[in-house]
Amino acid sequence: MRIKEIIVVEGKDDTTAVKRAVEADTIETNGSAVNKSTIQQIKHAKEKRGVIVFTDPDYPGQRIRAIIDREVPGCKHAFLPKKEALQKQGNGVGIEHASPEAIQNALKSVYELTSNQKIYITKEDLLQFGLLGTREAKERRKKLGERLNIGFTNGKQLEKRLNMFQIERDEFTSVMEQILREEEKND
């Protein structure tokens, strides 16, 4: 599988893992301190070939993603579910721990952020499905993020992320109904 866009990752081990999974070029941010030179590289790459931001599913990865999105709007984003990024022995989380298949699946489900003001999902939708303010909310958000390939987020950011990725209400409702049916089966 050949990726046209340049993939932005956090470090050398992530590059190695990505290159095991797909044919692609990468830019490494060297951790969460994204400097001006790296931002310039990403801007240039976006103009020439496009960019996919593919950071670890943890707080530093989210922070890098936010910095890049602010400085280089219009990049595409790929998300790896946290369970696919866990270190086999130890407690590390990162792209470098993922299988080639998990990386390929994440890169097949790429989203482009948009500043489009259209509202697809509202806070009321999130409340209706128990994604906010319930005991099950965190686990439901985790499952929703994995199934929609938008990553895990807290309750405050979920509405924004669903709308930025233009998740249609029908798709959101269908996935949430499936999650709720599975919960009922397990009770």
How buried is residue 2: exposed, middle or buried, by Cβ count under 10 Å (0-12/13-18/19+)? exposed
* CATH of region 6-112, choose from 1.10.357.10, 3.90.1310.10, 3.40.50.150, 3.40.50.140: 3.40.50.140
Report how far Cα 119 is from the mean position of its chain's Cα atoms.
20
pTM of the model: 0.70
Domain ranges of the chain: 6-112, 123-186
pLDDT per position as a tens digit, 106-149 = 999 887 765 555 778 999 999 999 999 999 999 999 999 989 98
pLDDT at 115: 56
pLDDT at 101: 95
Average pLDDT (173-182) is 95
User: Which of these ranges, 69-73, 87-91, 132-136, has the smallest mean pLDDT?
Assistant: 87-91
Helix axes of 12-21 and 100-108: crossing angle, nearest 10 degrees: 80
Largest CA distance in the chain: 53
Radius of gyration of the chain (CA): 17
Give the chain's mean pLDDT. Answer: 90
12 has a pLDDT exceeding 70: yes
pLDDT at 117: 56
Is the Cα dihedral 137, 159, 149, 68 positive or negative? negative
